[in-house]
Amino acid sequence: MPATARRLAIFQESVIREMTRLANQHGSINLAQGFPDFDPPAELIEALERSARGPFHQYAITWGAPRFRQALAAKIARFGGPQLDPDRNLVVTCGSTEAMMVAMMTACEPGDKVVVFSPFYENYAADAILSGAEPIYVALRPPHFDFDPEELRRAFAQKPKALVLCNPSNPCGKVFTREELLFLLDLAREHDAFVLTDEVYEHIVYAPHRHIPFATLPGAEERTLTCGSLSKTYSITGWRLGYVAASERIIAQAKKVHDFLTVGAAAPLQEAAVTALEFPDSYYDQLLADYTRKRDLLLGYLAQTGLDYTIPQGAYYTLVDISPLGFADDRTAAEEITRTIGVTGVPGSSFFREPVHRYLRLHFAKKDETLHRAGERLAAKLRR
Which CB sits closer to ligand GLN, 33 or 349? Answer: 33
Residues 200-229 that bind ligand GLN (CB under 6 A): none
What is the contact mask toward ligand GLN in residues 338 to 357, using x (rule: CB under 6 A)?
A: --------------------
Check residue 324 and report its DSSP letter.
G
Pick the closer one to ligand GLN by CB: 86 or 135.
135
**164 to each of 104, 127, 167, 323, how far by Cα in Å?**
9, 11, 10, 29
Phi and psi at residue 163, in whole multiples of 5°?
Answer: -120, 135
| Total residues binding ligand GLN (CB under 6 A) | 7
Binding mask 155-194 for ligand GLN (x = CB under 6 A): ---------------x------------------------
Question: What letter would DSSP give residue 144?
Answer: T
Minimum distance of ligand GLN from residue 199's CB (angstroms): 13
Residue 56 or 120: which CB sits closer to ligand GLN? 120
Does residue 355 have a cis bond before it (omega within 30 degrees)?
Answer: no
> Is the CB of residue 302 less than 8 Å from the CB of residue 320?
yes
Q: Which is nearer to ligand GLN, 63 or 120 (CB)?
A: 120
| Separation CA 267–CA 257 (nearest Å) | 19
Least distance (Å) from ligand GLN to the CB of residue 131?
A: 18
Listed in sequence order, the DSSP H helices in 54-94 are 66-78
- Residue 115 within binding range of ligand GLN, rule CB under 6 A: no
Which residue of 28, 30, 33, 338 would you call a contact of ligand GLN, by CB under 6 A? 33
CA–CA dist 374, 7 (Å, integer) = 39
- Using CB under 6 A as the criterion, what x/- string covers residues 3-32 for binding ligand GLN? -------------xx---------------
Residue 156 beta carbon to ligand GLN: minimum distance, rounded to whole angstroms:
27
Residue 223 or 294: the one with the smaller Cβ distance to ligand GLN is 294
**What is the phi-psi region of residue 10: left when phi exceeds 0, alpha when psi lies from -120 to 50, beta otherwise?**
alpha
Which residue is nearest to ligand GLN, using beta carbons? Answer: 34
> Is the CB of residue 355 less than 8 Å from the CB of residue 382?
no
User: How many of the other CB atoms lie within 10 Å of CB of 292?
Assistant: 13
Least distance in Å: CB of 172 to ligand GLN? 12
Nearer residue to ligand GLN within complex by CB, 123 or 275: 123
Pick the binder of ligand GLN from 15, 31, 34, 273 (CB under 6 A): 34
* Cβ at position 52, least distance to ligand GLN in Å: 24
How many residues can be counted in the chain? 384
Q: Smaller CB distance to ligand GLN: residue 17 or 384? A: 17
Q: What are phi and psi of 7, to 5 degrees?
A: -60, -20
Residue 246, classed as helix, strand or coil, is: coil
What contacts 187, CB < 8 A, 6 or more positions away? Answer: 152, 153, 156, 163, 193
Residue closer to ligand GLN by CB (options 112, 198) is: 198
Residue 97 in the binding site for ligand GLN (CB under 6 A): yes
For residue 318, state whether it binds ligand GLN (rule: CB under 6 A): no
Sign of CA dihedral 181, 186, 187, 189: positive
Question: What minimum distance in Å lies between the beta carbon of 125 and ligand GLN?
Answer: 14
- For residues 140 and 174, give the distance between their C-alpha atoms in angstroms, rounded to a whole number: 9
| End-to-end CA, the chain | 51
Q: Identify which of residues 71 and 365 has a Cβ nearer to ligand GLN in the complex.
A: 365
Give the separation between CA 299 and CA 362, rounded to whole angstroms: 10
Interface contacts to ligand GLN, rule CB under 6 A = 16-17, 33-34, 97, 121, 170
